[in-house]
Amino acid sequence: MSHWSFVTAAYAIALLATAGLLAWAFVSMRKAEAAAEELKRQR
């Protein structure tokens, strides 16, 4: 295997995991804040 195969694999893992963390944090935040807003509107 060439050196670039190792470099590509390492970058793919790092970037996908970071993007996954950010996407999960964003979606959970939007969901929770929308639920809080909805409850506030119902009062």
Partner 1 sequence: MHRFANPARFLKIARPATVWLFAIGLILAAGGVIGGLTLSSPDYLQGETVRIMYVHVPAAWLGMAGWAGIAAASLAQLVWRHPLATVAGRALAPAGATFAAICLLTGSIWGRPTWGTWWEWDGRLTSMLILFFLYLAYIALAGAEKERGGEGRIAALFGLVGAINLPIIHYSVLWWRTLHQAQSFGVEGSSIDPSILWPLPLSALGFTCLFGAAVLMRMRAELAEAKVEARMRRAAAE
Residue ranges binding partner 1 (CB under 8 A): 1-4, 6-7, 9-11, 13-15, 17-18, 20-22, 24-26, 28-29, 31-33, 35-36, 39, 43
Dist. CA 30–CA 40, nearest whole Å: 15
Q: Computed from CA positions of residues 35, 40, 42, 43, in that sequence, does the dihedral angle turn out positive or negative?
A: positive
CB of 42 to partner 1, least distance (A): 9
In the complex, what is the shortest distance from the CB of residue 19 to partner 1, in angstroms, rounded to a whole number? Answer: 9
Q: Cβ of residue 14: shortest distance to partner 1, in angstroms?
A: 4
With H, G, I as helix, E, B as strand and everything else as coil, classify residue 1: coil
